[in-house]
Amino acid sequence: MNRTLIYKIEEKDSPCTVESFLKARGYSRQIIIQLKKNDDGITVNGRWAYVKTMLRTGDELKIFLEETQSSEHIRPVLLPLAIVWEDEDILVLNKPADMPVHPSVNNYDNTLANAVAHYYRSAGEEFIFRCINRLDRDTTGLLIVAKNALSASVLSSQMKKRQIHRTYLALCDGILPSSQGTIDAPIARKEGSAIERCVDLERGERAVTHYKVLETRRHVTLAELHLETGRTHQIRVHMQYLGSPLLGDYLYHPDFTCISRVALHSSALAFTHPITREPMQFRVPLPKDMAEAFYQTGYGSI
């Protein structure tokens, strides 16, 4: 999607080149190259400018981000799309269960990308699907979609630096060993499996998960979890390792099926807005299937 940004140069930033000013605000080298190719990409005080043009206090720098491509291979499909927040730069969504994020083999028209494509196609807008954080097909909860190249660049950098903070809720089979704690156990691919992971003290990559018990009922624990690292299936593997695997987990706890999917929910997100730099915080409640599995009476207080 096209995006126009206007910056008023302040004394603290002056003097500097256009290029250094943009880099300080998260513009990647690729974005700056594209701006140079567009006659309207960079203007200072209403005039076309080079990236080496010097900026002074009071100057007005105008940037026009033009979208020249689209995710044309993603088919628009009317699917559930729960929008938690939308502005010119980001879309925050609450993903339902049984929905992959990206199209893949045998999943061409049932993904979050298909739903977003339909949403914007219905509004007459083209888009490139840029999902910043990912969730497994069965995991519900909060995701960020960047609506332009700049917000994608800035948010991707935040992800790499572990500056996007996610909170998960999980239903665990059994009583956890303490009210809160940390699991520091390396994870590797399980031998003979292309999907399954396991704790492997010799071959594994470092993985750290922090947990806190919120409530326990009938030997089922509702736990809050925070990831310090981002290994595949990290929460599922670590809770199994702790002796309290997730309910409904067909890989790591196949004998306990009181819920039809892995009982894991991305309940909260905290990050810095890629353009305004304002702190952003979002929270969504426990989904109905997890609440019913835990309380047996519908929604609880979480």
Active-site residue list:
136
- Roughly what angle, to the nearest 10 degrees, separates helices 149-160 and 29-37? 170
Q: Are 166 and 225 in contact (CB under 8 A)?
A: no
* One-letter identity of residue 84: V
Q: Burial, 112: exposed, middle or buried (Cβ in 10 Å; 0-12, 13-18, 19+)?
A: buried
| Closest listed residue to residue 44, CA positions, set 26, 12, 18, 11 | 18
* One-letter identity of residue 46: G
CA-derived radius of gyration, the chain: 22
Which tokens sit at 193?
């499996």
